[in-house]
Amino acid sequence: QFLYFIGCRIANMQRALSEAKDLCADWDVWSITSSDDAARTFVLTRSDEDQTSITFTISASYPSGSIVLKDIFGRELTARNLSVMDALDEALQKWDDDADTGSHGMPREATSMLFESAAGGAGGNEADVVPSIFEKAERCMAAHAADKRVNGLTWFSFDPARRKFIVRVACPLQTVEHYRANALNLNRNHAIIAELHISWQYLEATGPPVVNDIYTAPISTLAADNARAERRIGALRWFLKNRIESALSKNWVNYERVRHNYTEEDNATCAGLERFRPSVPEENFIEGNDMNIFAGLVQLLEYRVRTCTTLCLICDAPLPLEGMKLATCDKDLCNHSAESYGLGCDVLYELEMHPEVSELLVCLTLYAATSGVGGRDVLVPMCPVFINASAFPGYTGPLHFYCGEYGSDKKNFPKLVECVQMLPSIPTMVKLAHGDEATLRTELNSRSPLLFPLLRWILSSNRAHLEPVPKQHRMAGLGDFQFHLVASNPAKEGRFLDRKEKAKKDGAGNHSNGSFFTWHGSAPGNWHCILRSGLKNYSNTKLMSAGAAHGPGIYTARTMSTSIGYMRGACAPWKGGEYFGNKSGLVLMSLCEVIDDKRGTSAVTGKPSLKDVSNEIVTVQDEDLIDTRFLFAFPGNFNGNQSLKANDVNVPAALMRR
């Protein structure tokens, strides 16, 4: 992967140089006088009486990313997401001493080239040709925006100062599931809006559009000048921007220097826009959207929003567990990259809006690390934090949470426990921030540079969605700390409901609705992993915690007393804990829904997927047959109503998944 990354950097530099050579071939006063592949820079020098030079610094992700331009004195001219040709054009626009300007505010060389391109080299009036090309582009935009397939979801205008079309496409969020919207901090009454900048010469010879911003706002503000997010969407913004830029770069054919003889027939079919076809599965295409950039962008945005929790945030590989939140795959490089890019959640938002959940996640990480100190490693996944020592002069402590080299087999559990215990309480951290996450980072860095990235990882690595049960809906006899736990994404939930309906229709079990509830109790240190990986069949693996007396499977029980025995003792409490109000730590138990189908067969073992032992212990081998519904946190000395049957819990209809 590292070699591939280096290869991409070299290839991108070569692409930029190739564009520069083409540019020099057309503008004979310019030539490449030097280049440095390692620094990704090259210099264009003008050979006429002006004898000026411009230094180009190309981003590693070119043509996305930015180009930095500097004049002969090293003064920065601009930093824009532009192609080489557009970047030079942009620089010359602002550099009056470098060239005379044509009648349309463009460098004379650029105007002549554009005129020749449009007129096919034939004679004509420059003042007539340039507006003609713009008018054709504008008519194409208008025709595509008016397409009934995207009506109300697109908007465009022209910015004369930057000579760009400002294009916005929207993905309404009304159809996004309630809990998934909450997990992603999305307002279902809003839309995700992608704003792109497209050159007015896009029918001629330009690179792909630039994704200027991704934000959420009411769809009614699509045409507003300053519409911006009412909710912060953090890593989702980065993910969508990155994937849309990648699709545009891959699918937008770059017709540099291609001469077009436009005709009225071309205008009618909007020639030139057929170059974009987004990388989404064929069945997701709006019919004919390859001839309409707006339809293609709407479809691409909708597809990426719908699948964002099923693919790795960094490499786009399918996730082994499709959860409710953005996540990385199991590769160390992806985990480290996400941490380095700061793609975790909005820490301050989580602390302010979900204080109880934030405290619970901190406690569970502490319990997993404490278990590791005791000799049992259940900290899965491991914290990938690695800080840059040069950013913290005078700091001599560890840079990560491994013993020895980063990524070694031995984890530094004592240091992790120490750092978690150093975190202030949730209300204290909110107060320290004064409404600014950067201020909170500074405050935590003064205690240890490891604290803020550790906190961000704790909050962002949780793939499940936890939401406190409203007081009026709490289930009797199960304490004050009840959470709706949604660990599976809509696709997996859909499969679960289909199998449940089939079991109900076929009468495969003993319950008329096709499913029943069971308890799952597990040691406090295990829940850090469960919330990030889901309930797994860990029988006969190093993560197995309670044996497999009744064969492999996920062990659950019909009666609370059985599961209480599996919760075991509580760990030492978090010193910063405030919401759970006890000094004995926490123990946890979940209420699970199991499909009542004893006739199913495990694809792994070939044995029945569901095994009922003495009508009490239920082992589930097929992980698709079980789903967590609620999580209950109790004081460490909890005994509870030991005779309470899971299927007798009165679950309010309002709490079932929406």
What pLDDT, on the 0 to 100 scale, is given for residue 446? 95
pLDDT at 135 over 60: yes
pLDDT band for position 657 (50/70/90)?
Answer: low
* Residue % of the chain over a pLDDT of 90: 26
Bridge partners (DSSP) of residue 211 are 196
SS3 (DSSP) at 443: helix
pLDDT at 73: 55
Mean pLDDT for the stretch of residues 550-567:
88
More confident residue, 632 or 140: 632
More confident residue, 340 or 635: 635
Segment among 472-486, 573-587, 629-643 with least mean pLDDT = 573-587
585 neighbors 637 (Cβ within 8 angstroms) = no
CB atoms within 10 A of CB 260: 17
Would the pLDDT of 479 be above 80? Answer: yes
- pLDDT higher than threshold 50 for residue 454: yes
Place 158 in a pLDDT band, splitting at 50, 70 and 90: confident
Confidence category of residue 232, pLDDT binned at 50, 70, 90:
low
Question: In 29-43, which positions are buried (b, 16+ CB within 10 angstroms) versus exposed (e)?
Answer: ebeeeebeeeebbbb
What is residue 81's predicted lDDT score, i.e. its pLDDT?
63
Q: What is the pLDDT of residue 75?
A: 65
DSSP 538-569: -TTSTT--S--TT-SSEEEESBHHHHHHHH-P
What pairing do the DSSP bridges indicate for beta strands 164-172 and 626-635?
Answer: unpaired
| Average pLDDT of the segment spanning 371-393 | 89
Residue 598 CA from chain centroid, whole number: 38
Each residue of 62-74: pLDDT tens digit?
Answer: 766 667 777 665 6
Asked if residue 571 lies in contact with residue 367, where contact means CB atoms within 8 angstroms, the answer is: yes
Tens of pLDDT along 411-428? 999 999 999 999 999 999
Quote the CA–CA distance of 162 and 158 in Å, as a whole number: 9
Rounded to the nearest angstrom, the gap between the alpha carbon of residue 317 and the centroid of all alpha carbons in its chain is 13
647 and 592 in contact (C-beta within 8 Å)?
A: no
Q: What average pLDDT score do residues 608-616 get?
A: 81
Which stretches within 461-571 are classed as H helix? 490-506, 527-533, 560-567
Whether residue 101 has pLDDT greater than 60: no
Q: Assign residue 493 a region: left if phi > 0, alpha if psi is -120 to 50, beta otherwise?
A: alpha
CB 589 within 8 A of CB 567: yes
Mean pLDDT within 463-479: 91
Residue with the bigger pLDDT between 480 and 274: it is 480
The whole-angstrom separation of Cα 572 and Cα 585 is 6
CATH class of 465-655: alpha beta
pLDDT of 425 reads: 95
Q: Which residues pair with 76 in a beta bridge?
A: 70
The pLDDT of residue 599 = 66
525 pLDDT more than 60: yes
Residue 117 is predicted with a pLDDT of 36
Q: CA 113, 119, 124, 126 torsion: positive or negative?
A: negative
Cβ contacts of 547 within 8 Å, gap of 6 or more: none
Which whole-number Å values give the CA distances from 16 to 22, 37, 39, 81, 490, in the listed order? 10, 11, 13, 13, 42
Measured CA to CA, the distance from residue 39 to residue 58 in angstroms comes to 9
What is the rounded average pLDDT of the residues 583-600?
Answer: 85
- pLDDT number for residue 547: 54
- Say if residues 485 and 628 touch (Cβ distance below 8 Å): yes
Instruction: Quote the DSSP letter at residue 608.
Output: B
Q: Do 633 and 588 touch, CB atoms closer than 8 A?
A: yes
H or E, element range at 128: helix 126-145
Cβ-contact 622, 603 below 8 angstroms: yes
Place of tokens 């996640």: 361
- Mean pLDDT of the chain, nearest integer: 78
When pLDDT is cut at 50, 70 and 90, the band that residue 264 belongs to is very low
SS3 7: helix
605: helix, strand or coil? coil
What is the SS3 assignment for 498? Answer: helix
Q: Which residue has the tokens 């937008």?
A: 252
621 vs 417 pLDDT, higher one = 417
- Residue 277 pLDDT more than 90? no
Confidence of residue 255 (pLDDT cuts 50, 70, 90): very low
pTM for the predicted model, two decimal places: 0.69
Residue 650 CB neighbours (<10 A): 7
Q: Which residues of 161-185 are buried (b: 16+ CB within 10 A; e: fewer)?
A: eebbbbbbbbbbbeebbebbbbbbb
Contacts 24+ apart (CB under 8 A), 296-299: 297/154, 297/167, 297/169, 297/194, 297/196, 297/244, 298/149, 298/150, 298/153, 298/154, 298/169, 298/170, 298/171
Residue count (the chain): 658
Task: Report which secondary-structure segment, H or E, holds 145.
Answer: helix 126-145
What is the number of other CB atoms lying within 10 angstroms of the CB of residue 104? Answer: 14
Give the three-state DSSP class for 410: coil
Residue 524 banded pLDDT, cuts 50, 70, 90: very high
Summarize the confidence of residues 164-185 as an average pLDDT.
86
* CA–CA gap between residue 566 and residue 549 (Å, rounded): 14
pLDDT of residue 125: 43
**Position of tokens 């942009």?**
90
**Number of Cβ within a 10 Å radius of residue 638:** 18
d(CA 412, CA 338): 21
pLDDT at 335 exceeding the cut of 90: no
Res 64: pLDDT: 67
pLDDT of residue 605: 61
* Separation CA 258–CA 233 (nearest Å): 40
- Quote the tokens at residue 496: 């679960």
614 pLDDT higher than 90: no
pLDDT at 285 (0 to 100)? 45
Q: Select, from the ranges 152-161, 392-401, 613-622, the one with the highest average predicted confidence (pLDDT).
A: 392-401
More confident residue, 308 or 336: 308
Q: Cβ distance 304 to 171 under 8 Å?
A: no
- From the CB of residue 10, how many other CB atoms can be counted at a distance below 10 Å? 13
CB atoms within 10 A of CB 149: 16
Strands 617-620 and 30-36, how do they pair?
unpaired
Q: How many CB atoms lie within 10 A of CB 148?
A: 6
pLDDT at 651 over 80: yes
Q: What is the pLDDT of residue 423?
A: 97
- In eight-state DSSP terms, residue 617 is E
- Mean pLDDT value across residues 140-162: 79
At 59 the pLDDT is: 75
pLDDT at residue number 128 = 45
pLDDT tens column, 199-229 = 877 766 566 788 988 989 888 888 776 555 5
pLDDT digits (tens, 9 = 90+) for 189-201: 999 999 998 887 7
Residue type, 567: M
pLDDT over 60 (residue 637) = yes
Q: Check if the beta carbon of residue 190 is closer than 8 Å to that of residue 216.
A: yes
